[in-house]
Amino acid sequence: MQPGVAPNGCPAPIDSDRDGIPDASDPCPQEAEDGQPPNASDGCPNKDLDGDGILLPEDKCPSEKGVAPDGCPVRDKDADGIPDDSDKCPDQPETKNGFEDADGCPDELPKAVAKFAGVIKGIEFDFGKATIRKGSNKLLDEAVKVLTEYNDLHVLITGYTDDVGERQTNIDLSEARANSVKAYLVSKGTDAGRVETHGAGPDNPIADNKTDKGRQQNRRIEFKLITK
């Protein structure tokens, strides 16, 4: 026999966690209801207060939406896109210049590298062809040396022409010339996967195509450091 309570004299329902919800209808009889949304009276505590899908006690940042495994947000104090835990300079943003862009630190291009970022003067081709003139080899060998020394660099080689002649012919020629430069670098040991090419033809002129001097300037090869 068990003593009962009003009004019917039966024993009080068992409520192990003392949250006011009897065990018989409490899906979490050993864990007290905390009154938190979205289910403030379901008998269970809310184990995902920040709604990030990571439950207590695994969530070490229960009031901030985060990511696995600890439920905390990725920290990036300098907002350079490199998480603090892998950023060598968490208080200084990375300089996005194609040179050591993964370390999270500001930097300047070494002089040897800077020489091969932009218009490359001294790369010449036979008239109307993609054949590199031998006088350009010394300069290209310098580029190979730089790419060998700084083996994390990746480069986009773009060929340009003036606006004389058919546009598509110029685009095809500029692409062939860019590919010739790549082929030379690769023949000297540069990994082909580090070099991309593009033929822009007469687009993006840097001088006036109405003069001989301007057209000569527009017939050019440009190197651009890129991030892979």
Q: Which of 41, 20, 40, 19 is nearest to 31 (CA)?
A: 19
CA 44 to chain centre: 41
pLDDT digits (tens, 9 = 90+) for 166-208: 999 999 999 999 999 999 999 999 999 999 999 999 999 999 9
Q: How far apart are CA 121 and CA 137, in angstroms?
A: 12
153: containing domain: 111-226
Q: How far apart are CA 222 and CA 111, in angstroms?
A: 17
Reading the block at residue 77, the tokens are 């104090």
139 and 185 part of one domain: yes
Residue 197 included in any domain: yes
Contacts of 59 (CB under 8 A, 6+ apart): 47, 48, 50, 52, 66, 70, 71
Q: How far apart are CA 156 and CA 64, in angstroms?
A: 41
pLDDT digits (tens, 9 = 90+) for 107-162: 888 999 999 999 999 999 998 999 999 999 999 999 999 999 999 999 999 999 99
84 and 177 part of one domain: no
87 and 182 part of one domain: no
88 and 171 part of one domain: no
pTM of the model as a whole: 0.63
Reading the block at residue 79, the tokens are 């907002």
Q: How far apart are CA 19 and CA 28, in angstroms?
A: 10
Number of domains in the chain: 2
89 and 121 part of one domain: no
165 and 199 part of one domain: yes
